Amino acid sequence: MRKLAGILFASCLPLLPLHAGAQEVPRCAAGDQKLDYEGYVKIGGIEQWVTVKGERCDNPVVLFVHGGPGNPLSPYANSPYRAWEKDYTLVHWDQRGAGRTFARNPVPSDGGGAPLTIAGMAADGTELAAHLRERLKKKNVILFGSSWGSVLAVHMAKSRPDLFAAYLGTGQLVSHPENDIASYRKALALARAAGDAKTLAAIEPLGEPPWTNPRAPGILRRATRVYEAKTSAQGPASWWEHAPAYATDKARADYESGEDYSWLQFVGMKGNGMLSTLDLPKLGLDFKIPVYLVQGSEDLVTVPEVAKRYFDSIAAPRKEYLLLQNTGHDPNPAMVQAQYIILTTRIAPAAR
């Protein structure tokens, strides 16, 4: 980790431009210090984009491991979790291959470069967590993973439990092809019951996973979004408005390029991407930290039955599973509120 000649405090740091060099997350100097840092941090040998925001430096730290892959939350001015900054220090991290991290480390024009791997990206996450613990003077940080991020988060929790107070997961992925098979069967059953010829024409020819067609997962996801919208409460559109610094043409293009790159790395050209290596039970079923899972009853991507089987199989110092009605895979107000209650009543008291 590169050392700075001097210490920069978040309260006086502006948004760093893309050409700025890597920094370190500012040290927590006083409990009432406000944190408002955005910049590159040297992680895993490359500069990765990190934002740290909160009203008080002595609040518990929540490290968000975003989904997608390739869908960081850092660009959104009023993200679902913005209101939490009063009670928590929120850390958003553009993972390797995503967002501003991808913009800083683009894929070579010849298509070369090391492929993304679950293990490598999880190692990035634990390195960042260790950095946050040292700079923000914390015993540990709270690990928050959703969808794709739930894969990395479990790998992180298993490899370095000493860094984390607890794991809070949503939209928990478990294994391949188990998750995709369950998703496909549910979507197919719903389309058949509805006599939905358009959806059936799109997904029936795919057959059951695993697939070698890189377009197949995206085709299924478009179908599941249609059916989740019929049964799930939605979040406000204002959640997904880009902050001005992320709303430029270049910033949007960088985000989309990283999203495309990460997705192809996830599925692979012949079904041989990161998804093909997903097998959380193989990591072992014993956790050294508390585990809390929040699942939507209408989630057609990480269907709750698969997540619940995994949850029932694990052992942890404390574990809780919460199934939310009228909730799909994507955040909605009920999901965000449930996550906040778990953080505030179960996790945060032990993470200060």
Over residues 119-136, the mean pLDDT reads 97
pLDDT at 154: 98
The domains of the chain, with CATH numbers, are 10-179+232-350 (3.40.50.1820)
pLDDT tens by residue, 203-253: 999 999 999 999 999 999 999 999 999 999 999 999 999 999 999 999 999
Q: Would the pLDDT of 69 be above 90?
A: yes
Q: Would the pLDDT of 9 be above 90?
A: no
Q: Who has greater pLDDT, 2 or 301?
A: 301
Q: Which one, of 310, 342, 301, 260, lies nearest residue 146 by Cα?
A: 301
Residues with Cβ < 8 Å from 7, sequence gap 6 or more? Answer: 26, 27
Instruction: Quickly list DSSP for 34-52.
Output: -EEEEEEEEETTEEEEEEE
Minimum mean pLDDT among 87-91, 107-111, 152-156, 158-162: which range?
Answer: 107-111
Mean pLDDT (the chain) is 91
pLDDT tens by residue, 284-340: 999 999 999 999 999 999 999 999 999 999 999 999 999 999 999 999 999 999 999
Which residues are 296's β-sheet partners? 324
pLDDT at 352: 56
Distance CA 287, CA 274 (A): 23
pLDDT tens by residue, 161-212: 999 999 999 999 999 999 999 999 999 999 999 999 999 999 999 999 999 9
Q: How confident is the model at residue 19 (pLDDT cuts 50, 70, 90)?
A: very low
Q: How confident is the model at residue 18 (pLDDT cuts 50, 70, 90)?
A: very low
pLDDT at 351: 73
Q: Would the pLDDT of 46 be above 90?
A: yes
pLDDT at 313: 98
Taking the CA atoms of 208, 213, 215 and 217 in sequence, report the sign of the dihedral they define: positive
Q: Which one, of 141, 165, 149, lies nearest residue 347 by Cα?
A: 165
The secondary structure of 115-171, three-state, reads CCCHHHHHHHHHHHHHHHHHHCCCCCEEEEEECHHHHHHHHHHHHCHHHEEEEEEEC
Q: Would the pLDDT of 112 be above 70?
A: no
Q: Would the pLDDT of 28 be above 50?
A: yes
Residue 159 C-beta-side C-alpha neighbours within 13 Å: 19
Please give the model's pTM, rounded to 2 decimal places: 0.92
Percent of the chain with pLDDT over 90: 87
Minimum mean pLDDT among 71-75, 113-117, 254-258: which range?
Answer: 113-117
Q: Write the CA distances from 99 to 131, 228, 349, integer angstroms.
A: 21, 26, 33
pLDDT at 14: 33
Helix (H) or strand (E) holding 91: strand 89-93
Q: Would the pLDDT of 93 be above 70?
A: yes
Q: How confident is the model at residue 11 (pLDDT cuts 50, 70, 90)?
A: very low
pLDDT at 22: 66
